[in-house]
């Protein structure tokens, strides 16, 4: 079965048709910069452009950087605050003319990794952290998703974790990999103390450079880089729309 997966991020909106049985993109992903300001109508227009680029007529899955309850955005992380309480599924459905399922973006990445990536076949507690503009999290217990965890926003030393430990924070503050890893390790240690994962999967664009920081981490859990990398959000969004 083929489903169009779309991943909405703070800097770019990406999409591609996905073979959900194989977890593979069926065409090169199509990317458009996220509109600034990233208000609902502007973002929906881009989602419509991506759908039309593939002449899409079937179901669509969208990963979105917010808590999503029954298709409605309840928060707005790295997008305009006017998204709060917007029916994202209805808005994207109107923009594309297709049935749309919307899921939290980190949950989408986690679904992809648990189905086709580093978490495949793993029982126990699995935590995925996406490292990018912010910090996204998804948690699975024996393969079952606990949706909308949003642990990227826990406070560490009176500061939102993603403001000190995201890849955006690394770049903004000009941190060396060693210094950034110390911050990120502190964040993971806090999460480990809260719910003791058996496996931590690290995703997002920075995961391609995992050799620069994973060996320095001190958490007890197994730590693996994501295998679906930047395609995780697209693949997972498509899987969520099954």
pLDDT score of 11: 87
pLDDT score of 205: 83
Walk along the chain (242 residues) and give the pLDDT tens digit of each residue.
Answer: 999 999 999 889 999 999 999 999 999 999 999 999 999 999 999 999 999 999 999 999 999 999 999 999 999 988 999 999 999 999 999 999 999 999 999 999 999 999 999 999 999 999 999 998 889 999 999 999 999 999 999 999 899 999 999 999 999 999 999 999 999 999 999 999 999 999 999 998 889 999 999 999 999 999 999 999 889 999 999 999 99
pLDDT score of 127: 98
Q: Kindly list the domain boundaries of the chain, sorted by start residue.
A: 2-107+232-240, 121-226
Token pair recorded at residue 26: 């069926």
What would be the CATH architecture of the domain defined by 121-226?
2-Layer Sandwich (3.30)
Token pair recorded at residue 128: 């995925």
pLDDT score of 197: 98
pLDDT score of 222: 98
Same fold, 2-107+232-240 and 121-226: yes
What would be the CATH architecture of the domain defined by 2-107+232-240?
2-Layer Sandwich (3.30)
**199-203 and 222-225 strand pairing:** parallel
Cα–Cα distance measured from residue 181 to residue 138, given in angstroms and rounded to the nearest whole number: 20
pLDDT score of 10: 85
Token pair recorded at residue 191: 């999460």
Token pair recorded at residue 14: 């990406």
First to last CA, the chain: 9
């Amino acid at each position: 079965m083929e489903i169009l997966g779309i991943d909405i991020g703070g800097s770019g909106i990406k999409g591609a048709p996905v073979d959900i049985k194989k977890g593979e993109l069926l065409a090169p992903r199509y990317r458009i910069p996220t509109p600034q300001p990233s208000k609902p109508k502007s973002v929906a227009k881009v989602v419509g452009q991506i759908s039309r680029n593939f002449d899409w007529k079937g179901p669509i899955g969208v990963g979105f950087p917010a808590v999503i309850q029954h298709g409605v955005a309840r928060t707005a992380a790295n997008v305009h605050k006017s998204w709060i309480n917007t029916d994202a599924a209805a808005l994207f459905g109107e923009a594309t003319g297709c049935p749309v399922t919307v899921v939290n973006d980190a949950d989408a990445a986690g679904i992809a990794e648990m189905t086709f990536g580093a978490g495949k076949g793993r029982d126990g507690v699995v935590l995925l952290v996406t490292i990018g503009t912010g910090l996204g999290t998804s948690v699975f217990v024996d393969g079952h998703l606990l949706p909308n965890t949003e642990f990227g926003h826990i406070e560490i030393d009176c500061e939102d974790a993603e403001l000190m430990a995201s890849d955006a924070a690394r770049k903004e503050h000009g941190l060396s990999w060693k210094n950034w890893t110390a911050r990120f390790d502190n964040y993971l240690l806090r999460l480990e103390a809260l719910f003791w994962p058996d496996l931590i999967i690290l995703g997002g664009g920075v995961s391609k450079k995992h050799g620069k920081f994973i060996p320095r981490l001190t958490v007890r859990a197994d730590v693996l880089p994501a295998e679906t990398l930047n395609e995780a959000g697209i693949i997972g969004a498509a899987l969520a729309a099954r």
